[in-house]
Amino acid sequence: MYDKRRVRQLIDLWLDEDTAHYDLTAQIMVEPGSRGRFFFNAREPFVVCGVEVAEMVHRAVDPDCGFEIKVADGTRVEPGAVIAVVEGDAQGILTAERVALNLMQRLSGIATLTARYVEEIAGTGAELVDTRKTTPGLRMLEKHAVMCGGGRNHRLALDNGIMLKDNHIAVCGSITAAVGRARAKAPLLTKIEVECDRLEQVEEALAAGADVIMLDNMTNDDMRKAVAMAGGRVPLECSGGVRLETIRAKAETGVDVVSVGRITQSAACVDIGLDEAV
């Protein structure tokens, strides 16, 4: 999910960055009025994301271009799959090409890595959630990519919920004081999450009335103890140092969600080509 109005505003910035004054190569090499038809082709297996954004990029350059989406966001494809077809003014297509590909390759990479993490914890009962470790300016789209890969979104921004971390707690003096202050001043429907790295903090957060508790960099044994302490009263989030090779064991401790910064922070772009139809 994303706001198309805001994406259109960003697209103007991205195109300005890439073209500066104009596309020198396209204007020299392509005769004005020339028409072209090109395929977006998958060159490796991945989960598609960003195809509608690619269409918006092309239409920003050439509103009259034809753009046919063959594969929807969230779909797994194999090498050789045609994701979309764009046709119209050849200069415009080549000018929009790199921005459209950069976005689709980046977002599909996040969706694909997310899907791998989701597969790792299948059957555990835990859900995968993202973090705010996103590329500046791309958070809305990168979080959409997480959803396309089967994950869930955590906070979209700082105003989406209260997360009391160690420094917030230190300023207030204790978890109890911090939760009390947050509860008194927060909007009515806002949830309060408390970060805990020790079991005694979990006990205090439960007593203070936290809505969610984050178990930060705890051992699996301690997380199992925290799950027993909570007894299902509040959701528990596992966070910190989660990798593909460790996530299943963490999910099997009984936590409700596992947050992973790597799915947005460290995802590699997938290989997508724009090839002229012959």
Give the residue numbers annotated as catalytic, written as ranges. 98, 133, 165, 195, 216
Q: Are strands 257-259 and 66-69 parallel, antiparallel or unpaired?
A: unpaired
Query: E strands within the chain?
Result: 35-42, 46-47, 66-69, 76-77, 82-89, 127-129, 162-164, 192-196, 212-216, 236-239, 257-259, 272-276
Q: What is the spatial distance between Cα 187 and Cα 189, in angstroms, rounded to a whole number?
A: 6
In our burial notation (b when 16+ CB lie closer than 10 A, e otherwise), range 38-69 reads: bbbbbeeebbbbbbbbbbbbbbbbbeebebee
Q: What is the spatial distance between Cα 52 and Cα 74, in angstroms, rounded to a whole number?
A: 12
Residue corresponding to tokens 């921004």 = 157
